[in-house]
Amino acid sequence: MAGLIDPIATPALSAALAVWLGQLSALKGAAATTIDAYRRDVARYLGFMVQHRGGVDGLAAVATTSPADLRAWMADERGRGLSARSLARALSAVKGFTAWAADRTGRDATTVLSARGPKFRRKLPRPLSEDGAVAVLSGIGDDAREDWIAARDTAVATVLYGLGLRISEALSLTAADHPLPTTLRITGKGGKTRLVPVIPAAAAAVAAYVTLCPFDLAPAEPLFRGARGGPVNPRLIQSAMERARLRLGLPATATPHALRHSFATHLLSAGGDLRAIQELLGHASLSTTQAYTAVDAARLMEVYQKAHPRA
C-alpha cells in the first residue's frame, strides 16, 4: 500500500497512511473502493502539505495543521478542478486520518476536525415510477441469450427492488441463502449487518433461476453465476438494465441502483416509517434516508401542478 502513496509525501507519512488504511480495512471493514478513495485523497493532502510547508515532521505536525495551511490545501484542490462534493469527501478522509494521528501523538487536532467543508447540493435519488419498476422486472430478461440467464437477471432485479439491496449485496448472496428465508441477514457497507424481510416475489424469482441454472450451486459459492459459471460481474446486470430501459423508453437514470431507490421511495409513498426504511437500507445516518422525503415531496408537487385547475 505504501508504494502507492503520492511520492511527494515522506516515507514516514506514507507508512503511517498505510497503517491507518490497514486498520480501516481490518477493524472497521471499510470497502476496497472506500480505502482506495481515502488513499488518494489523503495522499494528495500529505503531498501538498509537505510541499507547501517545506516539509512535515511526522504525525504530530499532521495533527496540528494551521487554519491557513488547511485553507491553502482546499483552495489548491478547488483550483485543480475538484468539485465541492469531491472536496467534502476528501476533507472527511483527511479528518479521519488526522484524528488517528492526533490520538497516536496526543496532539490537539481541533483545527482540522472542526473545519467545515464546502457546501454543495446533494443529488436526490432518482427512482423509477412504480409502473417503470414493474416493467423492468418483467422485461429485463427479454434480451438474454438463454432462459437461465433471463431468469438470473430477473431474480437479481427482483431482489434489488423487493429487498432494497445494493447490487454488491445481491451478488454476494451464496447458494446457502436459497431458498430465500422470510428474513435475510445482509452484510453491507463497513461490515454492518441488517435483517431484511423477503417478499414472496423475490423468493419465487430466485427459485425459478435456481431451477434453470446449469451449474452446481455449492452452499459456499455465489448464488448468481455468469455464463461460464463464475461470479456475476455487476457490469452484466448493468448492461441488462441498459437494454431494458432503451427498449422500455425509460430514462438513463434507470440503473440497478435506481431499483434500490425505487424500493425506498415507494415504501415511503405507501406510508412507510422513515426509521424503518433507514434500517432496511442499512443507512448509518437518518439524514441519508431523509433524501427520499424530498423525492416524495417533489413527486407530490409535480402531480399537484398537473392536476390543479389553472385560472
Structure letter (DSSP) for residue 174: B
pLDDT at 122: 58
Question: Which is the catalytic residue, given 152, 225, 245, 260?
Answer: 260
Q: Is 260 a catalytic residue?
A: yes
Q: Is 189 a catalytic residue?
A: yes
188 pLDDT exceeds 90? no
**Residue 311, SS3?**
coil
3-state secondary structure 99-135: HHHHHHHCCCCHHHHCCCCCCCCCCCCCCCCHHHHHH
24 pLDDT exceeds 90? no
90 pLDDT exceeds 60? yes
To the nearest whole percent, how much of the chain has pLDDT over 70? Answer: 82
Q: Evaluate whether 189 touches 150 at the Cβ level (below 8 Å).
A: no
As given in the structure block, the three cell numbers for residue 154 are 430477473
214 pLDDT exceeds 80? yes
Question: Which is the catalytic residue, given 52, 189, 243, 299?
Answer: 189
Question: Which is the catalytic residue, given 107, 243, 257, 299?
Answer: 257
**Rounded to an integer, what is the distance from CA 55 to the centroid of its chain?**
36
pLDDT at 89: 87
pLDDT at 119: 67
Query: What is the set of domains in the chain, with CATH numbers?
Result: 2-113 (1.10.150.130), 130-262 (1.10.443.10)
User: How far, in Å, CA of 5 to CA of 1, rounded?
Assistant: 7
Residue 285 pLDDT grade (very low, low, confident, very high; cuts 50, 70, 90): low
pTM of the model: 0.61
pLDDT at 29: 67
Tell me the range of 77-81, 126-130, 217-221 where mean pLDDT is highest. 217-221
Residue 229 pLDDT grade (very low, low, confident, very high; cuts 50, 70, 90): very high
pLDDT at 3: 39
39 pLDDT exceeds 60? yes
Higher pLDDT, 194 or 29: 194
pLDDT at 4: 42
270 pLDDT exceeds 90? no
Q: Is 292 a catalytic residue?
A: yes
Cis bond upstream, residue 256 (ω within 30): no
112 pLDDT exceeds 60? yes
User: How far, in Å, CA of 2 to CA of 15, rounded?
Assistant: 6
Measuring CA to CA, which residue among 277, 188, 56 is closest to residue 73?
56
Tell me the range of 55-69, 180-194, 273-287 where mean pLDDT is highest. 180-194
Tally of CA atoms within 13 A in the half-sphere of 64 that contains its CB: 11
Structure letter (DSSP) for residue 52: H
- The one-letter code for the residue type at 177 is D
Average pLDDT value for residue range 152-178: 94
Average pLDDT value for residue range 32-39: 87
Q: Evaluate whether 111 touches 66 at the Cβ level (below 8 Å).
A: yes
User: How far, in Å, CA of 305 to CA of 208, rounded?
Assistant: 43
Residue 198 neighbours by CB under 8 Å, 6+ apart: 162, 163, 180, 181, 182, 183, 184
As given in the structure block, the three cell numbers for residue 2 are 505504501
Question: Which is the catalytic residue, given 39, 166, 245, 266?
Answer: 166
